[in-house]
């Protein structure tokens, strides 16, 4: 079994280029639909917009589900400002300083776009004494629109209004040393891995021991992507999402990360140990870790009352919810763990 690395990375680059802040994900979901159709993979679309692809297995009585999310961080127009700029409200949990200077696209209600840059109002160090020290927050940050606009009326004439979605430029780059830098690796890196896995299982006619569903959710960043669409026979539910890297963390950019606990509490002990055993049996590099300020679609499913065994694995992502980075080795390790998992018996 070989990881189709180039295919996965091409998919990843295509995915991060598609604007999909939570609430504005239709184009990204359509991309997934077209991919599934091209590879003759059966799927259904949920009312909230999520997609569930299904591969029939030997057992229908007990089933599995894996999930990754296509929605990303972003923003929305909060207010048209008298100076001809836009006040924004955040979509997803990130810090304002992480988007200062970012190029953005403003998606107008008529389907057209405008462009701009996120700046602090007191941006010029030659004019504002406090430019370096002022707190970056909703009151001080704004979008500078790339048009000749000076008033609220100018903005309205341009077709801009409260409620227009704002997406951030991904700035995707792949280095000769194997690093992949981009916004929205959370969680489009995992989506690319699941799509690559689905294609391999389908084209290579891999027989899975259990019918397995692949949920591509579109509301994870706002907390409820995993609440619905879980068939009654699903026993094991695995979120495939980024491993958080930082001080005190074991996760890195070169291994598969297995989450022990996040802000929702511990993940299922037996399933976690099953992941570890698979890594050891297949010589897959891995790290166990706790993500202290984190929640996943698996924890959302548990909170919503589903009687399932839940787990969380994924590639290690440096700079989560900022300018993110991972390495090809982490994608490869995570892919091999996913393949080993879907072709293995359940943890018991």
**Residue 348 pLDDT > 80, yes or no?**
no
The CATH code of the domain that includes 105 is 2.40.30.40
The CATH code of the domain that includes 334 is 3.40.630.10
Q: How many helices (H) and strands (E) does the chain have?
A: 7, 19
Residues 204 and 315 in one domain: yes
Residues 110 and 193 in one domain: no
The mean of the pLDDT values for the chain is 96
Total of domains in the chain: 2
Specify the pTM: 0.97
Residue 321 · residue 92 · CB < 8 Å: yes
Q: Does any domain span residue 199?
A: yes
Active-site annotation, residues = 220
Residue 266 · residue 260 · CB < 8 Å: yes
Burial of residue 333 (number of CB atoms within 10 Å: 0-12, 13-18, 19+): buried
User: pLDDT tens-digit profile of 20-47?
Assistant: 999 999 999 999 999 999 999 999 999 9
Q: Does any domain span residue 254?
A: yes
As a whole number of angstroms, the distance between CA 95 and CA 29 comes to 26
- 118, two tokens: 């996120």
Cα 15 from chain centroid (whole Å): 10
pLDDT band at 245 (very low <50, low <70, confident <90, very high): very high
Domain boundary among 140, 168, 196: 168
What pLDDT was estimated at residue 32?
98
Q: Buried (b) or exposed (e) across 98-126, using 16+ Cβ within 10 A?
A: bbeebebebbbeeeeebebbbbbbebeee
Could you list the residue range(s) of the whole structural domain that residue 106 is in?
Answer: 74-168
As a whole number of angstroms, the distance between CA 107 and CA 71 comes to 16
What pLDDT was estimated at residue 2?
83
User: pLDDT tens-digit profile of 154-201?
Assistant: 999 999 999 999 999 999 999 999 999 999 999 999 999 999 999 999
User: What is the pLDDT averaged over residues 328-337?
Assistant: 98
Residue of 123, 112, 110 lying closest to 83 (CA atoms): 123
As a whole number of angstroms, the distance between CA 12 and CA 242 comes to 14
**Residue 82 pLDDT > 80, yes or no?**
yes
Domain boundary among 113, 138, 168: 168
């Amino acid at each position: 079994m070989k990881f189709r690395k180039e295919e996965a990375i091409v998919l990843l680059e295509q995915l991060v280029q598609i604007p999909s802040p939570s609430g504005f994900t239709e184009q990204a979901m359509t991309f997934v639909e077209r991919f599934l159709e091209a590879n003759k993979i059966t799927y259904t679309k949920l009312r909230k917009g999520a997609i569930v692809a299904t591969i029939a297995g030997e057992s229908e009585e007990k089933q599995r589900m894996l999930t990754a999310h296509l929605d990303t961080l972003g923003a929305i127009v909060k207010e048209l400002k008298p100076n001809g700029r836009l006040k924004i409200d955040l979509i997803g949990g990130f810090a304002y300083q992480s988007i200062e200077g970012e190029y953005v696209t403003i998606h107008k209600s008529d389907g057209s776009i405008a462009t701009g840059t996120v700046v602090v109002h007191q941006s010029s160090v030659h004019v504002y004494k406090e430019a370096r020290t002022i707190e970056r927050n909703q009151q001080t940050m704004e979008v500078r629109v790339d048009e000749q606009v000076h008033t609220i009326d100018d903005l309205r004439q341009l077709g801009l209004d409260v409620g227009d979605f704002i997406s951030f430029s991904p700035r995707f780059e792949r280095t000769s040393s194997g690093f992949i830098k981009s916004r929205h690796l959370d969680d489009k890196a995992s989506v690319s891995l699941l799509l690559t896995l689905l294609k391999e299982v389908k084209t290579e006619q891999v027989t899975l021991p259990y019918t397995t569903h692949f949920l591509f959710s579109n509301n994870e960043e706002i907390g409820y992507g995993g609440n619905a669409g879980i068939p009654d026979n699903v026993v094991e539910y695995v979120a495939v999402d980024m491993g958080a890297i930082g001080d005190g963390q074991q996760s890195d950019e070169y291994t598969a990360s297995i989450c022990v606990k996040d802000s929702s509490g511990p993940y299922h002990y037996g399933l976690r140990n099953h992941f570890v055993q698979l890594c050891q049996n297949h010589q897959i590099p891995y790290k166990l870790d706790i993500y202290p300020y984190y929640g996943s679609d698996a924890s959302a499913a548990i909170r919503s009352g589903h009687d399932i065994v839940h787990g969380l694995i994924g590639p290690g992502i440096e700079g989560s919810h900022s300018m993110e980075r991972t390495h090809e080795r982490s994608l490869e390790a995570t892919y091999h763990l996913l393949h080993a998992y879907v072709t293995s018996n359940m943890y018991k």
